Each structure stands twice: as C-alpha cells, then as structure tokens.
C-alpha cells in the first residue's frame, strides 16, 4: 500500500472517535454533571427513581454525590417515562431538587443550574486519561497498521482501536442529569457502547486472521465473532424483566459494552487457541502464541488481583475498572505485537518466561496466604500483619537475588553465567593474525573467569603448521578441554583458576563445554583464515614463477633467435647485389629459423593455455591429442568418452581438466605398462567428473607420490576439487577427479 493511502486510512481511523465524541457531547446542552466516573463502562445499574451525580466538570452548582430527586418538579424516572417533547436549550435555567449529605444529616435543597455547552476542556483537565487512553490506543493501532498495511489482522486491529474509544461517551464523559430530563437522552451512551462492542468484535477478528482458517473451521470462527453481541442480548433478556422503572430499563438498554466484554474474553481465548492450533508457519506459530499469551496474561492478572484476593480477604487489591483496564492492556499489547509481527522471535520467549515466573510467584503467594489463613484460624494473630510481612518479603526477594548474583560474580566471575562468556567470545574478530586472535580470547577468559593460566594449542593442518598461545604460567594441573568442530579435534584449551578462587569442579562442566565449543569455532575460523593467507601466498608465488619462466624463455630462447634472424636478414640484403645465389641460400635458412621461432611461440602460448581448447573445446581437443598420440610409435592408445552436455565449461576448469588428463595418460605410458587407456568425462551435481583408467600393473604398494600425481592433485585442489588415485578392479590404475563448475 502506498504511503499516501496509508496516511489516508490512518486519518479516517483517528477521525472516527474524534468526530463521534464531538457529535455526542455537543448534541445538547449540559449541566456539567456525569452519572459515571469509571474508567470503563460497567454493568452495575444504579438508576432507580432518582440518580446520583458521580462527578462534575466545569462551573456548576451541583456536587459529586448529590442525589437528584427531581428536575423542574419531576423525578428523572418521570422524565424518561414521559413523552411531552420538552427540548432543553443553551442558557435555560433548570431547578434541581437534590439530597445533599451534610454534617451528620442529609439536606434537601433547591439548586438552579444554567445549561451550557459540554465543558470538554474542563473535563480533559480534570480527567486527563479521557484523552490519553484513546490516543495511546489509536497510536498502537496505527503502528501495527503502518508496519503491515496489507495484513488483514493489522487492518482489523486498527478498526478495533478506532471503535473502542467511543466508549468514553458512556464513561467518564457519560450522560448528565439533564440528559434524562429533556436534553440529549440516553442515545450517546447506547451508541458509544455499541461502537465499542463492535470494536471487541474487530479485536476477535484480528486474532482470527492471524492464520488462514480452513473451510470447515470458518463457521466456528464466525460463531465466536458474534459472541460479544450475543452476550449483550442474553444479559439484557435476563435483566430487563426485573427492571422496575422506565429509568432502570433505559439504563439496561444503554449498557452494551460491559456484558459484551465479559462474553468477549472467553471468546478471545477460544479464537486465539484455534488460531494457534492451525498455525503451520513458524512466524504464524509465534504470532498466535504471543496473542494467546497476552490474552491469558490479562485474564490471569484480573484473577490474581481481583477475585482471588476478594475470596480470601473480602476485598480485591485493585478497583474493578482499573483491573479490567490492566488486563485489557496486557491482552492488547500481545495482540498488537502478534498482528504487527514485531520482533516475534525476541518478544515471545521473553513473554513466555515472564509468565512462567509470574505463575511461580502466584503459586508461592497462594501457598503463603493459605498458610496465613490456617495460622489465623489456630491462633490470635493479625492476618493483615502477616500478609504485610509476606508482601514485604516478596518485595525484598528480587533485591536479595540481585545481591546474591553480584556476590557470586565477584567471587566466581562469570562462571554462573556461561552465556555471557560465550556472547563475548562471539564478538572476537577471527580475521586478525592467528596469535593475536587466540591471545585476545585467552585474555577475555582470564578476565571473566579469574584465571591465572590459559593456553590454547592449535593442531597442524596439511597446509599450515601448529599455532600456540598462552598467558600466565601453570601452578597446578590445568583443566583441559578438547576443541572439536564437527567431530574433528582442532586443538586443546587449558585453563587454571588463580589461587584466590575456587578451582573448576564438576558443576562447571557446562561452562567448560560451552567455552570449548566457542573457542573451537574461533580456532576453526583462525585456521581457515590462515590457510586462506597461505593459499593467497601460493597463488602470488605461482604467478610470479610463471612470469619468471616466461621472461626466461623469451630472453633465452625467442629473443636471441629473433635477434640472430634480424642480423642475418641484414647480411642477406648486402649479398643480393654481389652474390644473389648465396643470398637466396641464406634466405632459405632464415625461413627455417623463422619457422623454429614460430614453433617456440606456439610452445610458449600452449604453456599458458593450449590453443586447441579455444579452437576445438575440451572434448575435441582431447580427442585430437589422442589421435596424434596414437600416430606415434610405441605409444599407449587412449580414447575419450564424453556425454553431449559436457560443454561449455569455465576456462579454468577446461585448462585444469586438459592438463590432468594429459598428465594421467603420460603417467600411464611411462609407468604402467598398459596396452590401453580410457578417459571418461561427465557432469554430476554441478561438478565435472574425470576418470582415467588403464589396463596396466596398477600402483605399487610402497609407492611414494611422484611429480605427476602431485601436479594433478594440486591442479584439482586449486579449484576446490577432489583427486583420488587407486587400483582399478580387474587390474590397472584409475584416477578420479571432481572439479566444481561454479568458480569464485
């Protein structure tokens, strides 16, 4: 989705709650009162024949706690039941009859109230959460949508965050007393809570869309989506029959969000569980698991801080609306991270570990509370004081653990935290000189583990010698760790703790294994770097040697020949007039010399790259060479068998294959006593396979690799290939070579 389109969608999402709030609050005059001051709508209907002012905003003579018994001589219940069509206007003066609590007695007072526009600015100053919570909710939905604008789950989550803030027209910016007596009526609360209920449906849809549902599961998802609305309908049907007055019935009709929320919570758990069960991709598994953990954490927080303490002590630890807000925040955070796919691989494990720790804490706390109750039943000890002591102990427990870890780290170093040592070892640079890299690793281990001696010995490889590095000197018997990578031992690590700290024991086995694994990986990287440097040096040396050979051949062979040719041509020029016959004879000899020079040039060119490869290709060049070989006297005939898909080949592979085949055939001629030789070429899994077999006497049991075999092996390994020489079944020798076709 284009940036402009995303901005337009977000603008609409932010405009929905803003426009609704302005429309609902300015639809009629206000007396500055609100019948609800809760953070979230509640299902507790406390409207009878009279109503009580919960809070006031702006300038109004009414006070929180006033019980309004009549407005202009009629009770609120009579106003709701009546149909006289009275419409309040700005500036109207309305007389209220209120019961106001005084010093030891209740007073009935007449209060005149002038109607004005809804004091939104005063309400925002008095209750800043009215603005803060919707803004945070919309910002969260916007971030999720911006991260994944094309994901259906992110879009549904944005819709949910745009609809849920509409509930503020129910509480705390809810209906005022005058709204029941001729002003706006109850529709702002009804519509606001209905929009928030549909926001719950959108939230359920967001979780359901984290994965694609199979056709047979879609009806289950659809049924779960309508659960919030069904919960409201069931609650309304159960309560409406017992309503005694029109005012109470109006309160029940307008209470939509709370019953929808209580029905949505189990539906949300069910939808998250179904989505997780049908997830197959790793990202979907992590996302659905995170959503399920978030919803579960919200429900657990509500149970632990609300019903559980109320059951044990008679009162919850947190007020009900704050408790629902806390649980909802946890659930929304988990669903937002899941819908936005925000660092799922990092967040999900941390959330899971945090919930496990919280569960352990809850179990311990429950056991402690049960013990307190038992002690209280058996002895005259204050439950409150025991609970306070237990709470203090729980608060001090993290500090005690932190102090314990600090002390253990001072005494033992990082032996209790192997992951820290391994993490630091991974940051070391393996591209430095081998001795420097190993010494840096040893210094790190000595510093973090309080070592007095540390040494590492790297075993020799076919292309490089051993390397050793150490710091300090051994006093006792160091702990030895074999450095293995892929089942191959690449070196040995020796560690000894200084005299002021405990030596390594059986409990440090995991630490030593982890350190050995990481140091082994470092040694392997250092060895590979060293072999790469050696290989580069060999390549540079081979290049310079080739240049020296060319210079020598040109200087000692072709150069003098051309100089002699030029001098003799000058002599022939001088003889043309005086002795034409002798000049012609000299020119004839010069022609032979020129042909010899041309042959020398061809020999030099063939030393660089056989011309036949450029003219004929590898297969035809080898067959041409075999035909020339067969024309000689006393030679071993050989043939070339190749598939049709051999060519084209990389230039380096062509040259190496040509040289190896020619050298193998030459070896067969010189040493095997064979009467025939076969060369087979084929492609196999991205490699060129070469097999040269003869019918000779085979390899001697006490043979030592000669120049020919060594030359063939080096040519194959220079290209990252393989070389194998062995006896042929039935007699003779077979040489097998694999050259990778993808070079560089």
Q: What percentage of the chain reaches a pLDDT higher than 70?
A: 82
**What pTM, to 2 d.p., does this model score?**
0.56
Predicted pLDDT at 432: 63
In a domain, 302, yes or no: no
Higher pLDDT, 261 or 370: 261
Span 491-511, average pLDDT: 76
Question: Last residue of a domain, which of 257, 278, 299?
Answer: 278
- Domain assignment present for residue 30? The answer is yes
Indicate whether 366 pLDDT > 70. no
Write the pLDDT tens digit of every residue in 117-143. Answer: 999 889 888 888 888 999 999 999 999
Burial per residue of 305-336, b for 16 or more beta-carbon CB atoms within 10 angstroms, e otherwise: bbebbeeeeeebebebbbbbbbbbbbbbbbbb
pLDDT in tens, 385-441: 555 666 666 666 677 666 666 666 665 556 556 667 777 777 776 556 666 778 888
Query: pLDDT for 274-324, tens place per residue?
Result: 988 888 888 888 899 889 989 988 888 888 888 877 776 677 777 887 888
Provide, rounded to the nearest whole percent, the portion of the chain with pLDDT above 90: 22
Nearest to 34 by CA among 191, 194, 182, 178: 178
DSSP structural state of residue 213: P
Highest mean pLDDT among 17-21, 348-352, 388-392: 17-21
**How would DSSP label each residue in 232-267?**
HHHHHHHHHTT--SHHHHHHHHH--HHHHHHHHHHH
Higher pLDDT, 488 or 555: 488
What whole-number distance in Å separates Cα of residue 379 and Cα of residue 357?
33
Average pLDDT, stretch 535-542? 70
As a whole number of Å, the end-to-end CA separation of the chain is 40
Mean pLDDT computed over 205-231: 83
Assess if residue 308 is contained within a domain.
no
When divided into structural domains, the chain yields a total of 2
Give the DSSP H/E element, type plus range, for residue 99: strand 93-101
Asked which of 278, 312, 340 is the last residue of a domain, the reply is: 278
For the cut 60, the answer to whether the pLDDT of residue 379 exceeds it is no
Report the half-sphere exposure of 629 (CA within 13 A, side-chain side).
19
The answer to the question of residue 180 being in a domain is: yes
**Which pLDDT value is given to residue 370?**
65
Residue 271 pLDDT more than 70?
A: yes
Query: Mean pLDDT for the chain?
Result: 81
Give the domain CATH number at 663: 3.30.565.10
The last residue of a domain, from among 258, 278, 298: 278
Determine the pLDDT at residue 376: 60
**For 463-476, how does the pLDDT look when each residue is reduced to its tens digit (9 = 90+)?**
667 888 888 888 87
Q: Which residue range is the domain that position 646 belongs to?
A: 616-740
DSSP track, 40-70: S--S----SSSEE--EE-SS-S--TT-EEEE
What are the tokens at 243? 């309503």
The number of angstroms, rounded, from the C-alpha of 501 to the middle of its chain's C-alpha atoms is 39
User: Is residue 537 in a domain?
Assistant: no
Question: Could you tell me if residue 95 is inside a domain?
Answer: yes
Of 197-201, 464-468, 472-476, 640-644, give the lowest mean pLDDT range: 464-468
The confidence score (pLDDT) of residue 373 equals 62
Tell which residue, 354, 262, 365, 358, has the closest CA to residue 309. Answer: 365
Residue 545 domain-assigned? no
* pLDDT at residue 191, rounded to an integer: 94
Measured between alpha carbons, how far is 742 from 652 in angstroms, rounded to an integer? Answer: 11
**Domain for residue 632, yes or no?**
yes
């Amino acid at each position: 989705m284009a940036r402009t389109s995303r901005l337009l969608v977000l603008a609409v999402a932010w405009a929905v709650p803003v426009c609704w709030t302005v429309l609902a609050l300015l639809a009629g005059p206000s007396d500055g009162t609100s019948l609800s001051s809760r953070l979230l709508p509640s299902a507790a209907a406390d409207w009878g024949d009279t109503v009580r002012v919960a809070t006031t905003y702006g300038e109004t003579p009414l006070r929180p706690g006033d019980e309004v018994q009549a407005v202009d001589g009629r009770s609120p219940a009579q106003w709701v039941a009546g149909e006289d069509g009275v419409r309040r206007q700005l500036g109207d003066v309305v007389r209220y009859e209120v019961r106001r609590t005084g010093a030891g007695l209740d007073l009935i007072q007449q209060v005149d109230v002038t109607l004005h526009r809804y004091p939104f600015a005063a309400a925002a100053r008095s209750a800043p959460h009215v603005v803060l919570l919707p803004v945070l909710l919309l910002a969260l939905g916007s971030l999720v949508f911006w991260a994944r604008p094309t994901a259906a789950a992110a879009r549904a989550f944005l819709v949910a965050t745009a609809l849920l803030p509409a509930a503020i027209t129910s509480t705390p910016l809810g209906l005022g007393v005058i709204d029941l007596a001729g002003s706006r009526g109850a529709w702002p609360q009804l519509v606001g809570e209905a929009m928030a209920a549909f926001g719950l449906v959108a939230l359920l849809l967001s979780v359901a869309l984290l994965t694609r549902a199979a056709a047979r599961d879609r009806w289950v998802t659809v049924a779960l989506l309508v659960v919030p609305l069904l919960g409201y309908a069931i609650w309304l049907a159960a309560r409406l029959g017992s309503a005694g007055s029109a005012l109470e019935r109006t309160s029940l009709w307008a209470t939509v969000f709370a019953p929808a929320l209580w029905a949505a919570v189990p539906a949300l758990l069910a939808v998250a569980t179904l989505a997780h069960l049908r997830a197959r991709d790793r990202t979907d598994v992590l996302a659905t698991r995170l959503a399920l953990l978030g919803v579960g954490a919200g429900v657990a927080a509500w149970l632990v801080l609300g019903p559980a303490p109320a059951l044990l002590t008679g009162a919850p630890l947190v007020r009900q609306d704050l408790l629902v807000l806390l649980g909802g925040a946890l659930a929304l955070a988990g669903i937002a991270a899941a819908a936005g796919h925000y660092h799922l691989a990092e967040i999900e494990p941390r959330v899971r570990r945090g919930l496990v720790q919280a569960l352990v804490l809850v179990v311990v706390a429950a056991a402690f509370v049960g013990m307190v109750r038992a002690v209280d039943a058996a002895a005259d000890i204050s439950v409150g004081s025991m609970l306070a002591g237990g709470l203090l102990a729980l608060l001090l427990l993290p500090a005690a653990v932190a102090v314990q870890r600090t002390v253990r780290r001072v005494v033992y170093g990082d032996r209790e935290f192997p992951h820290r040592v391994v993490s630091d070892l991974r940051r070391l640079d393996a591209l430095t000189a081998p001795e420097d890299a190993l010494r840096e690793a040893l210094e790190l281990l000595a510093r973090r583990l309080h070592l007095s001696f540390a040494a590492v010995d790297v075993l020799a490889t076919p292309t490089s010698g051993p390397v050793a590095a150490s710091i300090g000197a051994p006093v006792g018997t160091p702990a030895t760790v074999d450095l293995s990578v892929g089942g191959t031992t690449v070196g040995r690590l020796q560690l000894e703790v200084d005299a002021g700290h405990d030596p390594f024991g059986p409990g440090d086995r995991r630490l030593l294994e982890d350190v050995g694994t990481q140091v082994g990986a470092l040694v392997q990287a250092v060895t590979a770097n060293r072999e790469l440097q050696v290989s580069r040096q060999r390549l540079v040396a081979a290049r310079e040697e080739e240049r020296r050979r060319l210079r020598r051949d040109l200087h000692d062979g072709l150069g003098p020949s051309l100089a002699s040719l030029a001098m003799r041509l000058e002599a022939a020029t001088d003889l043309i007039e005086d002795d034409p016959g002798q000049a012609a004879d000299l020119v004839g000899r010069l022609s032979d010399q020129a042909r010899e020079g041309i042959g020398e040039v061809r020999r030099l060119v063939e030393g660089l790259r056989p011309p036949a490869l450029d003219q004929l290709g590898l297969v035809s060049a080898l067959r041409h060479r075999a035909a020339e070989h067969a024309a000689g006297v006393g030679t071993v005939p050989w043939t070339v068998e190749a598939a049709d898909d051999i060519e084209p080949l990389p230039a380096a592979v062509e040259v190496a294959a040509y040289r190896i085949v020619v050298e193998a055939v030459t070896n067969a001629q010189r040493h095997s006593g064979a009467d025939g030789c076969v060369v087979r070429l084929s492609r196999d899994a991205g490699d060129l396979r070469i097999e040269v077999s003869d019918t000779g006497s085979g390899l001697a049991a006490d043979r030592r690799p000669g120049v020919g075999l060594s030359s063939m092996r080096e040519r194959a390994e220079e290209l990252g290939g393989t070389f194998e020489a062995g006896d042929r079944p039935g007699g003779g020798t077979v040489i097998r070579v694999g050259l990778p076709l993808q070079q560089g």
